[in-house]
Amino acid sequence: MEYHKEFLYLMDMANIKRIPEVLKDRFLFGLREELADEVQRYRYTTMDNLVKLAIDWDQVQQMIARHNKRNSSTPIFHSSSKPEMEEFVEYAVEGDVSLEDSTV
């Protein structure tokens, strides 16, 4: 998580004192809202704990996003079964196959 490194660098550049509670609050404020909401549900005592928790939750959210993206793009039919289904539908539409006569 590059945010943590940039955060500490900017805090030094702004000459802001590293008071632990202030650092943690400002760090949380800079996180994405959904990530900050998740992180705040857990107990952390040090800045290192907070950073590790934020990194872990960020990775979980990325895995969920990849999983959802992969599942949303999965075709309903496998490519090998699709032509057979299309042929059946074509015959049924043309009247060559009656659904009442077909056996499953």
Is this prediction's pTM over 0.75? no
Note whether residue 98 is domain-resident. no
Residue 57 has pLDDT above 80, yes or no: yes
Residue 79 confidence class, pLDDT cut points 50, 70, 90? low
Among 53, 66, 67, residue whose Cα is nearest residue 4: 53
Predicted confidence (pLDDT) per residue in 64-73, tens digit:
888 888 777 6
Residue 99 counted as domain residue: no
Closest C-alpha to 18, from 52, 55, 48: 48
Domain contains 29: yes
Asked if the structure places residue 93 within a domain, the reply is no
> Is the residue at 89 inside a domain?
no
Q: How many domains does the chain have?
A: 1
Is residue 59 in some structural domain?
yes
Question: Residue 65 belongs to what domain range?
Answer: 2-73
Give a yes or no: residue 88 inside a domain: no
pLDDT per position as a tens digit, 40-52: 999 889 999 999 9
Tell which residue, 39, 32, 83, 77, has the closest CA to residue 57: 39
